[in-house]
Structure 1
Amino acid sequence: MRTAFLAASAALALAIPLAAQEAAKPTYPAPSEIVAAAPKADWTAIPAEDLLVMTLAPDAEGKPRQVVIQLMPAPFSQGWVHNIRLFARAKWYDNISVNRVQDNYVTQWGDPNYDNPEATGKPKPLPDRLKVVPESDYLTRYSVMSSMNRQTRQMVTRTDPPLAGPRVKDAYGDSTFSNGWPIGIYKPANEPPVLHPTHCYGMVGVGRNYSPDTGSGAELYTVIGHAPRHLDRNIALVGRVIEGMEHLSSLPRGKGELGFYAKDEAAKRTPILTVRVASDLAPSEQPAFEYLSTESETFAAYADAIANRRDPFFITPAGGADICNIRVPVRRVQ
């Protein structure tokens, strides 16, 4: 009995310090918890003029499919964004289709009769007033400005566009965030740095032929796999899918070259019924979204939490994150 009592006492003596140690461990919120606790002031509304609503044909079960795309704001890719709004308002995108789905790469849509030697119909004529955008517009130069902070009497440096988000280093160079978008910083030799959008999952780009062609916006694609960052500065990025990505990422893969649907796969093409600029819809039909400001303290904490996961599931913080792993939170508000 005495031996059992001593053993139990020893176990209790060991258990108490361990429990105390566990209680003393700091707790860290998960990235999702940081976003959920963000104050309303840290969220920025997305203008309806910057939203495209794309309606696909219903799925095999007859369920509706809708995809919402946020277009990039100035100063990035504005020539192509102009064209895309023009295509949508001319209803040119109506009744085109998804023509290419390449696994771990992209889903691409456009006129199935355009630039297709196996096409059975005539290509749609392009609308008037399209811009021909130069390759130089793949990049955006930013200016550095300084002003005196009257409260502290110190010089304050800022950039246009603002680059106030956390900096990220990866194999493709420095990256950061600007107005809610992941942005690469390219530093050519003996020239000022330039900015460019990054090919992250869900980003939307403009299909093109060989240089110097830069594409008009008649063919668009979205990234459905590991971020193909080698495309940065080589193709125009114009937006990102913010809702309905599952309708584009889960489509049957094409068996033709580069994932295009072969001649005997025409039935796999998903019809696109309509594409509309959200601001052109009736007020009751306009979707409304907002994103977590990348200039906010909440976003900085969120990015740090992704780069250094300390919440209970994780054992070893990575100490860093790819720019494309720090996805900017976007939420629907109605």
Structure 2
Amino acid sequence: MKHLLLAAAAASLVLPVHAEEPAPVPSPGEIAAAAPAGDWVSIAPSDLLVMDLAPDAKGNSRRVVIQLMPAPFSQGWIGNIRRLAAAHWWDGTSVNRVQDNYVAQWGDATEKKALPEGLATIPESGYETSRIAYHGQPGSGGATRRLLSAPVATDAYSSQAGFLDGWPVARKKDMVWPVHCYAMVGVGRNMSPDTGTGAELYAVIGHAPRHLDRNIAVVGRVISGIEYLSSLPRGTGALGFYEEEAQRVGIEKIRLAAELPFAEQPRFEFLSTESDSFARYADARQNRRDPFFIKPAGGADICNVPVPVRAVGAR
């Protein structure tokens, strides 16, 4: 027995020592899901535009929820959009243009429906603003909002791209503007100097058309139901317009969420872009280290860092 114990002890000396397994590297989604409650920002019902499309062929409802952009961006158009929603102007209109890898657009296809009185005419200067203080701006002082560093060293369309109050933006010198990423909502217009009223809106359903930045007003983003727009049949007319009335997708109604009964108001919140959680999330988006990936990219386009948004229960 003594010899057996000695042999076992000797054998244990030559067994390999297994190091503790490294902690798994979280994915961007896992980082966002683990963010504490204090890192999430509630979206006011007055900032949500709710669009109910006609049911699909199987009778399923189709609801699209749009978050309107905060000040100082595009407020002239957003004021018009609020007025249009209050007047129930979009009820009975349609999605009348779906262009592959580009946009889905809605409004009055006949262009004959009278607009509500009091809509503002907004100049082209409203596409961008200088009324932004950001960290690093000379003379900005300490009380500034943070424009995060760009996920890539350079942005092809600006000097710097980052996030402000939960939104992707770009800047050049002292001018800042919102950018066209997937699911962003913009204002359709005719030729310059027309800037559109907000009655014609579109959502980006393809690769980010950043060439539209500062040429068309960006007024919000789809935060729920983008699939109901991106999966629609493509229009066969010029620019993806539907050539026949029967092809158009009817809009039952569009309302500000605050106008809906309290129990029916959708509730959403977004991950604060000034939080440490978002900083980790953005880093993980530009340098994927979770097990599937072999080589971190070392950067990401601004539109490849979508701000996490989640639905929450009733208050």
**Correspondence for 2:148 among 133, 151, 165:** 165
**Correspondence for 1:125 among 98, 108, 114:** 114
**Correspondence for 1:46 among 37, 43, 46:** 43
**Correspondence for 2:55 among 47, 54, 58:** 58
Is 2:180 aligned against 1:199?
yes
- Find the aligned partners of 2:195 and 2:146 in 1 and give their Cα distance: 27
Contact 1:166 1:300 in 2 (8 A): no
**Correspondence for 1:176 among 134, 152, 162:** 162
Is 2:190 aligned against 1:209?
yes
Is 2:127 aligned against 1:138?
yes
- Find the aligned partners of 2:202 and 2:70 in 1 and give their Cα distance: 18
- Find the aligned partners of 1:59 and 1:89 in 2 and give their Cα distance: 26
Q: Which moved more, 1:126-135 or 1:166-175?
A: 166-175
**Correspondence for 1:227 among 183, 208, 212:** 208
Displacement of 1:278 after TM fit?
0.5
Partner of 1:185: 171
- Find the aligned partners of 1:96 and 1:310 in 2 and give their Cα distance: 47
- Find the aligned partners of 1:132 and 1:93 in 2 and give their Cα distance: 19
- Find the aligned partners of 1:143 and 1:47 in 2 and give their Cα distance: 22
* Gaps in structure 1 of 5+ consecutive residues: 1-12, 115-122, 147-154, 188-192
Structure 2 matches for 1:71-150, cutoff 5 A?
A: 71-114=68-111, 123-144=112-133
Displacement of 1:186 after TM fit?
2.1
Deviations 1:88-116 (A, max 9, x none): 100101000011000000000010101xx
Residue type matched to 2:115 in 1?
L
1:230 partner SS:
helix
Residue type matched to 2:45 in 1?
A
1:125 to 1:88, Cα distance in 2 relative to 1, 3 A: same
Partner of 2:6: none
1:242 partner SS:
strand
Residue type matched to 1:184 in 2?
A
Residue type matched to 2:114 in 1?
P
- Find the aligned partners of 2:172 and 2:92 in 1 and give their Cα distance: 39
**Correspondence for 1:329 among 299, 305, 308:** 308
1:312 to 1:145, Cα distance in 2 relative to 1, 3 A: closer
1:234 to 1:178, Cα distance in 2 relative to 1, 3 A: same
Report the TM-score, using the length of structure 1 for normalisation: 0.84
1:25 to 1:145, Cα distance in 2 relative to 1, 3 A: closer
Displacement of 1:143 after TM fit?
4.6
Displacement of 1:164 after TM fit?
4.0
Partner of 2:4: none
Contact 1:203 1:241 in 2 (8 A): yes
**Correspondence for 1:28 among 15, 18, 25:** 25
Displacement of 1:244 after TM fit?
0.6
- Find the aligned partners of 1:29 and 1:166 in 2 and give their Cα distance: 22
Q: How many positions carry a matched residue from both structures?
A: 293
- Find the aligned partners of 2:48 and 2:132 in 1 and give their Cα distance: 28
Is 2:251 aligned against 1:272?
yes
Residue type matched to 1:180 in 2?
G
Residue type matched to 1:172 in 2?
Y
* Gaps in structure 2 of 5+ consecutive residues: 1-13
Residue type matched to 1:211 in 2?
S
Displacement of 1:163 after TM fit?
2.6
Displacement of 1:26 after TM fit?
6.0
Displacement of 1:172 after TM fit?
1.3
1:170 partner SS:
coil
1:52 partner SS:
strand
- Find the aligned partners of 2:194 and 2:131 in 1 and give their Cα distance: 25
- Find the aligned partners of 2:32 and 2:226 in 1 and give their Cα distance: 21
Report the TM-score, using the length of structure 2 for normalisation: 0.89
Residue type matched to 2:302 in 1?
I
Deviations 1:139-166 (A, max 9, x none): 01135489xxxxxxxx95343xx23434
- Find the aligned partners of 1:143 and 1:85 in 2 and give their Cα distance: 24
Residue type matched to 1:163 in 2?
R
Residue type matched to 1:329 in 2?
P
2:142 partner SS:
strand
1:310 to 1:77, Cα distance in 2 relative to 1, 3 A: same
**Correspondence for 1:244 among 209, 221, 225:** 225
- Find the aligned partners of 2:59 and 2:304 in 1 and give their Cα distance: 34
Contact 1:308 1:318 in 2 (8 A): yes
Residue type matched to 2:190 in 1?
N
Partner of 2:287: 308
Partner of 1:281: 260
* Identical residues among aligned pairs (%): 60
Q: Give the root-mean-square deviation of aligned CA atoms.
A: 1.8
